[in-house]
Chains A and B, each alone.
Chain A
Amino acid sequence: MSSDKIGFWGYPDPEIVEKIKKEYPNAEWIDLDIDYNYPDKNILPESYCKIIKNIINNSLEIKPIKIIAPIGKDKCDSGWFAAQVLRDKGLDIIETKYEQTSNKNPIIISKSNLPLFDKVNTIMNNIITPKKYNFEEVKPKFGFWGVPPNDMEILNLFPNETHIYGWTRCVEAGTPADIDLEMYVDEDVPTVFYAQAFCSKAQLAKYLADKYNGLYIDIDDYANNSIKAKIEAFLRLR
């Protein structure tokens, strides 16, 4: 076990995060959702959500002393199954559910003038070490709806005047299970609805893309040139 590393995925209950921080004040916190290019442990099927694959592969490679594992509506059923698999593999799993929808944080980063890549990074880095920001709000030319993609580079295709919607906005609000906020978009803003391939959120992404005349995309691992060209065409033509 890595004595100085705590793993987590999704948006764990902040009270539990604070409790673990006090227990392990010098620990490094590792976001297990991110692709660190560790070898595939061949636990999951070949065709499966890349984010869950990251969670399994990272956990078994890094072997954190504890893993804070959201398993409720704030994550997904696959997160719950992953927690069971990792526990069965001998890792110390602390399951959390953080499904409250009140006391929302103000939405600042999602509407800011930061590059989209930085917006998403800033929101996700704010989970374990929350900071207050005061960025300038920009009028949206485009929207990006969804979770942080495995291939963060696609975010560099968007202009700075892109607002964030969907689960990533819910994370900024501190309400990762807030389905009403997750389904909210500004109707007049041309929006790309992104889902990780094999993720159940694809159901929402496709439905909302049709409803709001946006562009639905799903990407398995990393975006190929055609997917990038498709996003580029949508951004240029709309």
Chain B
Amino acid sequence: MIYLDAGTTYSKIISIGEANLSEINSFLIKEENDRKYYILPSSMIKSKNLKITKSCGHMSSATENEIIALANGARNIIDTDSTVLDLGSRDAKWIKFKDGKFHDMDWNTSCASSTGATVEMLLKFYNVKREELEFNEEKFAVTCGIFGLEKIMDDISNGTKPVEAISKFVHGIAYNAWSFAKKPEKIYLSGGFCENKCFVESLKQYCDIESLGRFILCEGLINSDKKEDVLTHA
């Protein structure tokens, strides 16, 4: 059984049992019991001819809605009254539970300018490693990422090091994400930004954080296959 969350930049895969994934063995992240976890560039997925059991994400053949996969993946591992935020390469989405049931949601479906893809491009452009980013008290207003880029360029031309300017941008993204999720006291964080310590430290200025990692949507696909669907509990 192969469960695929196809993000814009990276795809996350959980395989269960004897599924043959020798073609992507070099992307294996970890193994637990009979499960194997992979992360690989989405651009490679099509060429791998994987027999996908269930999928979500930015591909025409996706079989599940991403926010429903997020709800199904997070529901059993979070507090009954809590907010889960998935922040990835292209978009941000959050879902709120009250008394263990779906209560509210939102999904910034169109503008990718203040998400992971922009940060990755900035890191490449300025030749900065993600690990070098550190929390900065200052933050850029990045409601529009394009204006945010302008701030970075101005800051750097005024003598600030690129690593500091990008950190301010990341702080701005953290503040935006918290505001977008309606300013909760605690956020369960899912997606690629879990691994960005600058982002996590920035978000901690506004709320408590618990990282869920990058495989929650895959877990949601598995749960809905096991009929542990959030819809059956509502």
Q: Given B106, B109, B110, B231, which contacts A237 in the complex, CB threshold below 8 Å?
A: B231
Q: Interface stretch among B26-34, B64-72, B186-194, B209-217?
A: B64-72
Smallest CB separation, A165 vs chain B (Å): 19
Query: B107 and A237: CB pair below 8 A?
Result: no
Inter-chain CA distance A227–B104, complex, in Å, is 16
Specify the main secondary structure of chain A where it touches its partner: helix
Contact A226 B65 (CB under 8 A): no
Number of interface residues of A (CB under 8 A): 13
Of A129-137, A166-174, A228-236, the stretch lying at the interface with chain B is: A228-236
Chain A residues lying within 8 Å of B230, measured Cβ to Cβ, are: 237
A103 interface residue per 8 A CB criterion = no
B67, B104, B231: the one contacting A213 at CB < 8 Å is B104
In the complex, A64 Cα to B111 Cα: how many Å?
A: 39
Q: Would you call B77 an interface residue if the criterion is a C-beta within 8 Å of the partner chain's C-beta atoms?
A: no
CB-based contact A237/B102 at 8 Å: yes
Chain B residues closer than 8 Å to A234, beta-carbon distance = 105
Q: What separation, in Å, do the CA atoms of A101 and B67 have in the docked complex?
A: 41
Q: Does B234 contact A (CB under 8 A)?
A: yes
Q: How far is the CA of A226 from the CA of B109 in the complex (A)?
A: 5
Task: Please state if B68 and A233 are interface contacts (CB–CB under 8 Å).
Answer: yes
* Cα of A226 to Cα of B105 in the assembled complex, Å: 14
A215 contacts B231, C-beta separation under 8 Å = no
Instruction: Give the residues in chain A near B107, CB-CB below 8 Å.
Output: 226, 229-230, 233
Q: Please measure, in the bound complex, the distance between the C-alpha atom of A174 and the C-alpha atom of B144, giving whole angstroms.
A: 41
Once A224-B110, A237-B230, A237-B234 are accepted as A-B contacts, the answer to whether A229 and B65 lie under 8 Å apart by CB is yes
With A224-B109, A224-B110, A237-B231: A229-B102 Cβ-Cβ less than 8 Å: no
In the bound assembly, the distance between CA atoms of A236 and B109 in angstroms comes to 18
- A184 to nearest B CB, angstroms? 22
B103 within 8 A of A: yes
- A229 near B110: Cβ-Cβ < 8 Å: no
Q: Is the interface of B mostly helix, strand, loop or mixed?
A: mixed
B103, chain A: closest CB distance, angstroms? 7
A229 to B105, Cβ gap below 8 A? Answer: no
* A226 pairs with B67, CB closer than 8 A: no
Please, how many angstroms separate the alpha-carbon atoms of A13 and B107 in the complex? 40
Is A89 an interface residue when CB atoms closer than 8 A count as contact? no
Question: Interface digits, B93-111 against A, CB 8 Å rule (1 contact, 0 not)?
Answer: 0010000001111110110
Complex CA–CA separation, A69 to B140 (angstroms): 45
Q: Does B86 contact A (CB under 8 A)?
A: no
Once bound together, how far apart are the Cα atoms of A213 and B104, in whole Å?
7
- In the complex, A236→B201 CA distance in Å? 34
Q: Is A238 an interface residue (CB 8 A)?
A: yes
Give residues of chain A (209-223) contacting chain B, Cβ–Cβ below 8 Å.
Answer: 213, 215
In the complex, whether B91 has a CB less than 8 A from a CB of chain A is yes
- Distance, CA A236 to CA B105, complexed state (A): 12
The reply to whether A230 and B103 form a contact with Cβ atoms under 8 Å apart is: no
The interface residues of chain A lying within 8 Å CB-to-CB of B104 are: 213
**Complex Cα distance A30/B107, Å?**
37
Query: Contacts of A238 on B, CB cut-off 8 Å?
Result: 102
Contact A233 B110 (CB under 8 A): no
Give the distance to chain B from A86, nearest Cβ to Cβ, in Å: 31
A-B contact pairs, 23 of them (CB 8 A): A213-B103, A213-B104, A215-B105, A215-B106, A224-B109, A226-B91, A226-B110, A227-B109, A227-B110, A229-B107, A230-B106, A232-B65, A233-B65, A233-B66, A233-B68, A233-B105, A233-B107, A234-B105, A236-B68, A237-B68, A237-B71, A237-B95, A237-B102
Other A-B pairs beyond A230-B106, A233-B107, 7, CB < 8 Å: A226-B107, A229-B65, A230-B105, A230-B107, A234-B105, A237-B105, A237-B234
